[in-house]
Amino acid sequence: MSSKMNLTRAQFDEVMVPNYAPSAVIPVRGEGSRVWDQEGKEYIDFAGGIAVNCLGHCHPALVGALKTQGEKLWHLANVMTNEPALELATKLVDATFADRVYFANSGAEANEAALKLVRRYAMDKFGVEKDQIIAFDKAFHGRTFFTVSVGGQAAYSDGFGPKPQSITHVPFNDIAALEAVFSDKTCAVMMEPLQGEGGIIDADPEFLKAVRALCDKHNALLVFDEVQTGVGRLGELYAYMRGDVVPDVLTTAKALGGGFPIAAMLTTKEIADHLKIGTHGSTYGGNPLACAVGNAVLDVVNTPEVLNGVKLREQLLRDGLIAINAKYDVFSEIRGQGLLLGAVMNERFQGRAKEFLVAAINEGVMSLVAGANVVRFTPSLVIPEADIAEGLARFERAVAKVVEA
């Protein structure tokens, strides 16, 4: 029936809850890092579904995994396990610090599980008074009520009634501010190793070491939200692998399914043992279809060829943005790592990041924003070099249009 309908952007306003404001463009097909809309117009994808499509659109390995599993087994209740879930969990354990894996559907759900786990662990081991969760200004951890309250952006959490308690926010990368609020009542620190939604702000190595040391001193757990930074985005399988600081709990989603909904929470056996039978759950967590795709993603991404290729592509994209800025003087800096980069508006263009996004769409290249002052780029980890060059050429035309307007 739907194939006969004349589906338009106007119908969104008629049938959808108005919590999104999508563009007029409706993509209908994608291949690699190129996408085509209803009118047949082609776009270079520098957005990647917000760091989700880590292998682009319709990657043969992912399509093959989905088709093969789709003819075997779609879903089981969690009163049973399944082979794709066991295989994916084993790969994640083998590749990381973790001993145990919990599967969910989205980053918010993985973070919700992590937050419940750290509270339960602290209560079991130290008592109900140890309940403080420390998080950071501008952080983003999801849209459930717990995760949005832990996230450091009041605009997302205000207006829904009383918030979960014992959550403290401090400025990111501020060791003194963190020390001032830390105590033996602190049960956990939750942080992104590189803040995505908050403006592409990397954690200072010394700050990470200080967080780890304070957690160890006060018997608190360190939770890394790697929903956006994980699965190769920064050129390592997970961002924590860039340095010496290892979290106690890690959450991963977005790129883990390459576009198919899946998430996971990773932790150690000692901590995991506190989520006993019945304490938490997810109907679709560990779904065979999702885990089959996740296995294919890891098999492709967790290779030297792809991870080293991220760093090469980062340099091409960064150099291209710097060259554009040399001509038009619109950015104060290009920040971020790997293929999670942000072009920060300079004083002349404060608050106008979205204008560049809209102009880019008109020129045939998809980008993102991270707040009002940062244009964000999260393309496929395997985007062809030719597509980077073409996308940059289109983005330059968009920049010129904004500057000349």
Q: What is the pLDDT of residue 386?
A: 98
22 plus 153 within the same structural domain: no
Q: Report the chain's C-alpha Rg in angstroms.
A: 21
Higher pLDDT, residue 188 or 18: 188
**Cα diameter, the chain:** 64
Per-residue pLDDT of 348-367, as tens digits, reads 999 999 999 999 999 999 99
221 plus 191 within the same structural domain: yes
Q: How far apart, in whole angstroms, are the C-alpha atoms of residue 111 and residue 316?
A: 33
Strand pairing category for 194-195 and 201-202:
antiparallel
Percent of the chain at pLDDT exceeding 90:
91
Q: What is the pLDDT of residue 3?
A: 53
In a domain, 370, yes or no: yes
User: Which of 251, 274, 301 marks a domain boundary?
Assistant: 301
Is pLDDT at 39 greater than 90 in this prediction? Answer: yes
Q: What is the pLDDT of residue 89?
A: 98
278 plus 352 within the same structural domain: no
Is pLDDT at 253 greater than 60 in this prediction? Answer: yes
Per-residue pLDDT of 124-133, as tens digits, reads 999 999 999 9
Mean pLDDT of 61-68: 98
288 plus 310 within the same structural domain: no
Query: Domain of 274?
Result: 73-301
φ and ψ at 115, to 5 degrees? -65, -40
Is pLDDT at 2 greater than 70 in this prediction? Answer: no
Binding site, annotated residues for pyridoxal 5'-phosphate: 107-108, 140, 225-228, 283
148 plus 185 within the same structural domain: yes
User: Which of 268, 301, 334 marks a domain boundary?
Assistant: 301
Q: What is the pLDDT of residue 214?
A: 98
Percent of the chain at pLDDT exceeding 70:
99
Arithmetic mean of pLDDT over the chain: 96
Is pLDDT at 197 greater than 60 in this prediction? Answer: yes
Q: How far apart, in whole angstroms, are the C-alpha atoms of residue 224 and residue 227?
A: 9
Q: Is 250 in contact with 229 (CB distance < 8 Å)?
A: no
Give the model's confidence band at 5: pLDDT under 50 very low, under 70 low, under 90 confident, else very high.
confident
Enclosing H/E stretch for 340: strand 340-345
241 plus 377 within the same structural domain: no
In a domain, 68, yes or no: no
Q: Identify the CA nearest to 273 among candidates 99, 77, 82.
A: 99
The terminus-to-terminus CA distance of the chain in angstroms comes to: 44
* Sheet-wide strand order for 34-37: 27-31, 34-37, 42-45, 365-366
CB-based contacts of 355-360 (< 8 A; 24+ apart in sequence): 355/402, 356/330, 356/398, 356/399, 356/402, 358/23, 359/398, 359/399, 359/401, 359/402, 360/46, 360/394, 360/395, 360/398
DSSP 232: T
Binding site, annotated residues: 107-108, 140, 143, 225-228, 282-283
User: Which of 301, 319, 335 marks a domain boundary?
Assistant: 301
Is pLDDT at 1 greater than 60 in this prediction? Answer: no
The CATH number given to whatever domain includes residue 373 is: 3.90.1150.10
The domain total for the chain is: 2
Pull the structure tokens for residue 237: 């399988």
Binding site, annotated residues for N(2)-acetyl-L-ornithine: 143, 282
267 plus 397 within the same structural domain: no
The phi-psi region of residue 228 (left if phi > 0; otherwise alpha if psi is between -120 and 50; otherwise beta) is: alpha
Is pLDDT at 153 greater than 90 in this prediction? Answer: no
